[in-house]
């Protein structure tokens, strides 16, 4: 059956791609044709061949509907689909709901699943939830125009709520000309976010200039930023524009702004406020029309109190603020990130790796990632280097990672207690516990498995005393 798409009556309607639909799904979708644009097929590869995921208008949601006998096939379909679109939310309709199945769905890149039979209200709620996660997916679409300096395409991979919130912030900020401060730990992707803001702004056709404040010596920072006239100093053989002028009509990123010396901070502040720059050795001013984005892994408010950062520059930069979460707080994005990096490194290493082994992926989910996404990317590259056979399809972890796995074997007791408390307060309802913790069900299943929380016997606990005794046993409380 070839893909058939319902005619669009409004370009604003969400586009839903439906695979393997049956009469049960048809019942739920019967009254949705006015709200959604639907593409319905039972052949994923025909849909892919038709470029539905590569034509700049990729669907906003994919729904995979499989029977009980084909539930595990649904995970394989989800994995194939995720390879062609790393950010699209995928909703699986199945008759399975075991914890093992939920964890396998997570590893396959499934965003959420719903068990049949379900009510129309439950189905609509799941669809709306997935679409809300995808509200700003277009912000980082792969067809965005790149800056003229040829920088690589900015991609922010993940379907977690925190990353979706970052995408929403990017969308709101990009349409303005306000200055932006991006904060977060090392390796969380601050430059990627800065590029995303630029690529989705009216300045996208102009230059994106990055200044690494930590890498340029203080004695050279002024000439690098403001430029110089011919003869301004020994060796100044010709006039040179500084980074600020190079970013004219575009965006400049001050990366690691917290490492900039106080004297340079004062001059940058003046340039931002006056919107003009004076080259070294020159008397004329040159107008500036730039967007300023600053990024740091430091606590600038604390630096201000220690008189290591100017408060007036902070207030000038801190107009729009984006806080990036560490990878350990969005581990549900690790499978998507792994697949993204595998696709990145396959051509570089002339390989055709399809995925990581299940055991390797489980190890990645247990690790705390102090180096965040950058550390994960470097780990995947190291894994490619240590591949044994040229035709290897399933990748293992490199030796250096396996050696330090034991350091992170101990699980955080506070998170485990939090999960148990939520389960107790909701009478062991995983759905209600997930809502109480503000997690998706998939996240709760993963964390329960990670902390070895089993609830098979919890339904037999008929009173609070028995439940408390069971909690104490799992928490090793005597």
Taking residue 477's Cβ as centre, other Cβ atoms within 10 Å add up to 10
User: Cβ neighbours of residue 332 under 8 Å, at least 6 residues apart?
Assistant: 106, 158, 159, 160, 440, 442, 443, 446
386 preceded by a cis bond (ω within 30 of 0):
no
CA distances from 444 to 258, 276, 452, 455 (A): 37, 52, 12, 13
DSSP H or E stretch at residue 347 = helix 334-349
> Could you give the CA distance from residue 361 to residue 367 in angstroms, rounded to a whole number?
10
Backbone angles phi, psi at 240, to 5 degrees: -135, 130
Fold of the domain built from segment(s) 327-398: Helicase, Ruva Protein; domain 3 (1.10.8)
Judge whether 99 and 448 are in contact, CB under 8 Å: yes
CATH architecture under which domain 161-323 falls = 3-Layer(aba) Sandwich (3.40)
Task: Give the rounded distance of the alpha carbon of 139 from its chain centre.
Answer: 12
* Burial (CB count <10 Å: 0-12, 13-18, 19+), residue 71: buried
Backbone angles phi, psi at 62, to 5 degrees: -115, 130
DSSP letter for each residue of 415-472: HHHHHHHHHHHTTT-HHHHHHHHT--HHHHHHHHHHTT---TTGGG--SHHHHHHHHH
Query: DSSP label at 265?
Result: H
Judge whether 201 and 193 are in contact, CB under 8 Å: no
Q: For 379-412, how does the pLDDT look when each residue is reduced to its tens digit (9 = 90+)? A: 999 999 888 776 677 778 888 787 766 655 544 4
> Could you give the CA distance from residue 429 to residue 422 in angstroms, rounded to a whole number?
9
- pTM, rounded to two decimals: 0.59
Domain ranges, ordered by start, for the chain? 4-134, 161-323, 327-398, 413-474
Ranges assigned E (strand) in 131-260: 180-183, 208-212, 227-228, 240-241, 251-255
Taking residue 85's Cβ as centre, other Cβ atoms within 10 Å add up to 20
CA distances from 410 to 133, 413, 416, 452 (A): 32, 9, 11, 12
Judge whether 193 and 170 are in contact, CB under 8 Å: yes
List per-block mean pLDDT (blocks of 10 residues) for the chain, which spans 478 residues.
Answer: 34 71 63 70 66 62 69 70 74 70 68 76 77 48 35 60 88 94 93 93 92 82 85 78 92 94 92 90 87 94 93 96 92 86 88 84 82 92 84 76 62 63 77 78 76 56 48 48
CATH architecture under which domain 4-134 falls = 3-Layer(aba) Sandwich (3.40)
> Could you give the CA distance from residue 347 to residue 317 in angstroms, rounded to a whole number?
40
Identical fold between 4-134 and 161-323: yes
Measured over the CA atoms of residue 144, residue 145, residue 147 and residue 151, the dihedral's sign is positive
């Amino acid at each position: 059956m070839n893909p058939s798409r319902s005619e669009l009556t409004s370009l604003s309607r969400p586009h839903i791609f439906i695979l393997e639909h049956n009469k049960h799904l048809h019942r739920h979708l019967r009254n949705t044709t006015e709200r959604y644009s639907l593409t319905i097929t039972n052949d994923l590869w025909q849909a892919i061949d038709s470029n539905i995921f590569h034509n700049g208008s990729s669907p906003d949601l994919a729904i995979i509907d499989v029977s009980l006998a084909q539930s595990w096939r649904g995970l394989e379909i989800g994995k194939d689909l995720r390879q062609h679109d790393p950010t699209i939310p995928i909703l699986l309709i199945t008759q399975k709901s075991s914890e093992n199945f939920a964890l396998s769905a997570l590893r396959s890149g499934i965003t959420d699943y719903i068990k049949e039979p379900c009510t129309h209200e439950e189905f609509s709620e799941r669809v709306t939830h997935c679409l809300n996660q995808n509200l700003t997916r277009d912000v980082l679409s792969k067809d965005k125009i790149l800056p003229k300096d040829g920088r690589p395409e900015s991609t922010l991979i993940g379907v977690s709520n925190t990353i979706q919130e970052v995408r929403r912030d990017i969308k709101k900020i990009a349409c303005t000309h306000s200055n932006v401060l991006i904060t977060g730990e090392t390796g969380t992707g601050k430059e990627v976010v800065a590029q995303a803001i630029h690529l989705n702004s009216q300045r996208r056709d102009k230059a994106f200039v990055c200044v690494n404040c930590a890498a340029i010596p203080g004695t050279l920072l002024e000439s690098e930023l403001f430029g110089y006239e011919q003869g301004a100093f020994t060796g100044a053989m010709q006039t040179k524009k500084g980074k600020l002028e190079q970013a004219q009509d575009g965006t400049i990123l001050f990366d690691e702004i917290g490492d900039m010396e106080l004297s340079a901070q004062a001059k940058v502040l003046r340039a931002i406020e006056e919107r003009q720059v004076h080259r070294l050795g020159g008397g004329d001013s040159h107008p500036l029309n730039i967007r300023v984005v600053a990024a740091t892994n430091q606590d600038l408010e604390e630096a201000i109190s220690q008189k290591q950062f100017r408060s007036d520059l902070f207030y000038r930069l801190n107009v729009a603020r984006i806080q990036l979460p560490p990878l350990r707080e969005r581990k549900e994005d690790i499978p998507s990130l792994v697949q993204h990096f595998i696709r990145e490194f396959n051509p570089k290493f002339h390989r055709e790796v399809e995925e990581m082994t299940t055991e390797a992926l489980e190890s990645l989910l247990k690790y705390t990632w102090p180096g965040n996404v950058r550390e994960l990317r470097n780990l995947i590259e190291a894994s490619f280097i240590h591949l044994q056979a040229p035709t290897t399809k399933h990748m293992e972890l490199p030796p250096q990672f396996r050696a330090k796995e034991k350091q992170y074997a101990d699980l955080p007791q506070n998170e485990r207690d939090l999960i148990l408390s939520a389960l107790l307060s909701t009478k062991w309802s995983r759905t209600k516990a997930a809502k109480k913790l503000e997690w998706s069900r998939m996240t709760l299943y993963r964390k329960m498995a990670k902390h070895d929380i089993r609830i098979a016997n919890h339904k037999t606990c008929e009173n609070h005393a028995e439940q408390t005794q069971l909690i104490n046993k799992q928490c090793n409380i005597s």
